[in-house]
Structure formats: structure tokens, C-alpha cells
Amino acid sequence: MEEVKLMKGNEAMAEAAIRAGVDAYFGYPITPQSEVIEYLMHEEPFKRTGMVVLQAESELAAINMVYGAAACGKKAMTSSSSPGISLKLEGISYMAGAELPCLIANVMRGGPGLGTIQPGQSDYFQAVKGGGHGDYNLIVLAPSTVQEMADFVDLGFDLAFKYRNPVMILSDGAIGQMMEKVILPEQKERLSNEEIIKHYGNWATTGKPESRESNIITSLDLKPELQEIHNQHLQNKFKTAEKNEVRYEQIQCEDADYILVAYGTSARISQKVVQLGREKGLKIGLLRPITLWPFPKKIISELADHAKGFLSVEMSAGQMVEDVLLAVEGKVPVAHFGRMGGMIASPSEVLDAVEKEINKI
């Protein structure tokens, strides 16, 4: 049954994974997301639901364990933070190529390199533009509350299996570490092999009976004509996802003549900025993308027909702002406000930036 708890974002995600009937979690410690595997090891879901939890020797090994389990048709996930995600990209590219569903959480910290352990949003490009080699996309979900850290696990797996593609929860150190009230979902049963075949088709490596051809999981095709056909098939899936899976939240955009665009922790701050701005008589609103890929281009374009300008607020040097620019299609000015290296913007400094940009128009 549902349960209300006060939890860290990382813990809520871990508990939600157990309750979503996830079959396996493979991870490697890295700040600020180590609570995920710590919580799972403490909860011992292998006793509760039979869920596998294993600490791998590296992020590389962890993502490849996910590959192995996912290719068996199982719900497999991993989580990490920025430097660890860089290591996982090889496996993520292979999984996109081999059409394997899985969930990867990136609790972002500041970069580049070892960077810092404080929150960041500078892995946006890596998450939404592919990251690994080859033409592929991840479906990227951006939680801005502890509740969404929990909710996006089940949603993530639904999307991953629907499109047979990796899904990423792109969170950050603040959401991962903060404690909030969270309503935990009811326990879902883990699926049996027969149910997996019934729900998702008979493509996984489960052991070949004589009654069917062998199931092969690979991203390789040495014949370029066939590899292009495979790529076309992937692109068609991505086009369908772009059509059907865009998610966003509008906060006071209806009458707004200036729009902030922000996700995750920056969206929380921007929500406060909207409140402060409204108190000062500024008609500003917030568009919060929930899916960073597919990006909510259409609504931004529509808002650009009425608003006088946009400000992309990010904990980065300006990454999502490029997608906002593309979506606005040059109709109105688009600016960026960012803090870097683990620094979180204060609402007042963002409001200053908003007022400055409005005055320029």
C-alpha cells in the first residue's frame, strides 16, 4: 500500500525501485548518490522481492551488468554521478544500439573532470545529445522534487520497455540529498519470464527452446546496408517518442510576458523567482521541462508567440539554453543565467538577471 515518508531523494528513488518491481540494481559508489546503493543494501530487497543488488568493481562493470540483465528481459538499473556516467557511456551506447531497456540515474555534480561533489547541471549535453558514440537518444526525465525521484522510476521503466531504449533520470546533488515528504507507491510484483514475454515480446536471451530461433542481442552489423536500416529503425523510434512523450509543467505562464525555463534544482529556485517577481509586479512565468529529451519545443515555440523573452536558468555555462534558442526560433530574445562548479543560484540573483534582461527588451 501507499506510504508517506520523509526521505532523501536518493533513498526515495531506491525505495521506489524496490516497489516498482525492479529485478536488478548494479552500482558503484560516488558522491552525491551513494545513498542509492547504501539504502538498497540496507533494505535487502533480495529478501523482500528477490531484487538483485550488487556493488560492481567500477561504473563500467555496473553498466555492463545492467546490459546482461536487461538483455534477459529484466528491469535493470544503475545510478551514478557525473564522472561515473562518463564511464558508463560506452555501455549506454551499446544498449541503445542493441535496443535494451534500462534505467540510469545521474545525480549530477559540478564538472568537468573530478569537478566537485556539489550539485551541477553541466551534464545536460551529455544526457540529451547522446553522450556516447553513434546516433542515439536517451529519454531523459528531470525530477525537481523527491517525489519525482520516486515517481520517475516506474515511469522510466515504462518508457524504457515501450521504446526498448535506455532512459535516464537526470537529477542533481541537491535533489538527491534533500529530504522531503514522499508518497511511496504500492509494491508492484516483479514479472515472471512468461509475463515479460507476454508484455514486451519474445526478444530477450532466456535460453533458446527448439521452438524458436536463437535470440541475439548485439549492436553490431558489419554490413553497412543493414546497419543503416537498423539506424533508421532507431530514428523512427525516436521520432515516435518525440511525438508522444514530451512532458513539462507550466507555472504562471498563461499571462506571462517573460518566461523562465529551468529543470531540477534550478526549477525550484526559478519557481521562487516567479513568486518574487510577481510580488514586484513582473508578469513572469516558468516552463519546467520534465522530459529534457524529447524537449518541449512546441510549447516553448507557442509561448514565444506571446512572451517578450526567455531566460534559461541552469547550473551550467549554458547548455539547455541552446535547445530553448532552437525552440524559440528567433521570435524573441533568449538569455542564459548560470552558476557553475557546484554553486546554486539564489532567487534574488536570478531575479536581478530577469529584470536586467527585461529592461534590455
Q: How far apart are CA 22 and CA 237, in angstroms?
A: 24
Q: Which residues contact 121 (CB under 8 A, 6 or more apart)?
A: 108, 172, 263, 264, 265, 266, 314, 315, 316, 319, 320
Other C-beta atoms within 10 Å of 18: how many? 23
Q: Rule CB under 8 A: which of 220-249 touch other proteins? A: 220, 222
Task: Give the type of residue at 203.
Answer: W
Q: Is position 197 an interface residue for other proteins (rule: CB under 8 A)?
A: no
Per CB under 8 A, the segment of 91-99, 103-111, 144-152, 290-298 that binds other proteins is 91-99
String marking each residue 302-341 x if it binds other proteins according to CB under 8 A: ----------------------------------------
Decide whether 71 or 315 has the Cβ nearer to other proteins.
71
Q: Is position 189 an interface residue for other proteins (rule: CB under 8 A)?
A: no
Q: Is position 178 an interface residue for other proteins (rule: CB under 8 A)?
A: no
Q: How far is CA 189 from CA 22, 69, 76, in A?
A: 9, 18, 15
Minimum gap (Å) between residue 26 Cβ and other proteins: 7
Q: Which of 11, 27, 33, 67 binds other proteins (CB under 8 A)?
A: 67
Decide whether 76 or 328 has the Cβ nearer to other proteins.
76
Q: Is position 281 an interface residue for other proteins (rule: CB under 8 A)?
A: no
Q: Is position 69 an interface residue for other proteins (rule: CB under 8 A)?
A: yes
Q: Is position 192 an interface residue for other proteins (rule: CB under 8 A)?
A: no
Q: How far apart are CA 137 and CA 71, in angstroms?
A: 19
DSSP string, 106-135: EEEB--STT--SSB--TTHHHHHS-SSSSS
The backbone region for 54, taken as left when phi is positive above 0, alpha when psi lies in -120 to 50, beta otherwise, is beta
Here the cell at position 324 is 530553448
Interface residue list for other proteins (CB under 8 A): 23-24, 26, 52, 54, 56-58, 60-62, 64-72, 74, 76, 90-91, 94, 98, 205-210, 214-220, 222
